[in-house]
Amino acid sequence: MSECVNLSAILKKQGELVLEDTPIPKPGKNEVQIRMQRVGICGSDVHYWTHGRIGHFIVEAPMILGHESSGIVSEVGEGVQHLKTGDRVAIEPGVPCRMCEFCKKGRYNLCHDMVFCATPPVDGSLRRFYTHAADFCYKLPDHVSMEEGALLEPLSVAVHACRRAGVTLGNNVLICGAGPIGLMSMIVARAMGAAVIAITDIDEGRLNKAKELGVNYTVKVDSRDGKVMAAKIEEIMGCQPDVTIECSGAEPSVQTSVYATKSGGMVVLVGMGPNEMLSAPLINAGVREVDIRGIFRYANCYPIALSMISSGQVNVKPLITHHFDLEKTMDAFETAKTGAGGAIKVMIHCGDDN
């Protein structure tokens, strides 16, 4: 295994994840080749591995996993001006067409021709060497670590969610779900001026992590009744939240998010649940003018996320709970899947630079 030049984590099919050598890709025009350093495991990586699909994205052929990543530019393709060999970069994994209506309006995350790492049939970046569009690679300041660079991806999801929610100074905010995205949303909401933040989860360990990160209130989910949980949240917070960011995708949690939010408030749906929700209290939201918005990935958020980290406005390092070398990818995925040892964000080391 150690003799492999471009060791890569390949999902052959549902349930079959292997490590194999693959050809080292050469950068095309306006691309860079990257010697990969850090790749975080996302819930979507685990879901493709265990279920073989997410919604209409189906694994029908072998696919390299990984999209939360950072590395070092090892070769520069024709036309690249802003990067050079040796630059440390974070990689925004989605590359849009740049020409459609959505791209031209700045909402390129909605581009129908988006090429997104580790989303079937596109290969991801969990390997030694990888190529990517240079304009979606962001040079990291010297004091920003490779781990922080990889975490720009989930942090950008949280930035997009909080921007869609209109989080601002003095808001009371509820986060439903204390997984990586929920915790990221919590720290971003705080940085954007939220006055009081509460977070819910079924797992006491994740609620304890939220306490470590400075949340005001934690709420243990002990009922599937959305109205019951909404009343519990209001009692603990002492008010109804202005904004709720739902990060679990679980149907009872979505119901709770609507019932809990103040009339005239905002619910943002981040968690990816079933394709068709069986029951959501839309009439309750309608008569109380509770706005419901969705998000899909992010757009124009990487620079903001990077500035938040580099300036010290947010600290994402405590979310990294486990480290594995690339050769131990299977152990890393098993840890991420089971949550063993209080796993929040599992980081894979593809190289040894900081």
Q: CA-to-CA distance for 259 and 219, rounded, in angstroms?
A: 15
Which one-letter amino acid corresponds to residue 201?
D
CATH 3.90.180.10 domain span(s) along the chain: 7-151+316-349
CATH 3.40.50.720 domain span(s) along the chain: 164-294
Q: Largest Cα–Cα distance in the chain?
A: 64
- Confirm if 322 and 343 have CB atoms less than 8 A apart: yes
For residue range 34-84, list pLDDT tens digits in order: 999 999 999 999 999 999 999 889 999 999 999 999 999 999 999 999 999
**Percent of the chain residues topping a pLDDT of 70:** 98
According to DSSP, the β-strands at 31-40 and 68-76 are: antiparallel
Superfamily of domain 164-294: NAD(P)-binding Rossmann-like Domain (3.40.50.720)
For residue range 23-32, list pLDDT tens digits in order: 999 999 999 9
Whether 201 has a pLDDT exceeding 80, the answer reads: yes
For residue range 204-256, list pLDDT tens digits in order: 999 999 999 999 999 999 999 999 999 999 999 999 999 999 999 999 999 99
For residue range 183-197, list pLDDT tens digits in order: 999 999 999 999 999
Q: CA-to-CA distance for 66 and 69, rounded, in angstroms?
A: 7
- Confirm if 33 and 45 have CB atoms less than 8 A apart: no
Assign 197 to helix, strand or coil: strand
Across the chain, mean pLDDT equals 96
pTM of the model: 0.96
pLDDT band at residue 352 using 50, 70 and 90 as cut-offs: confident
* 158 closest CA partner among 256, 246, 250, 220: 246
First to last CA, the chain: 23
Q: Which fold has domain 7-151+316-349?
A: Quinone Oxidoreductase; Chain A, domain 1 (3.90.180)
Whether 354 has a pLDDT exceeding 70, the answer reads: no
- The residue behind tokens 């580790």 is 118
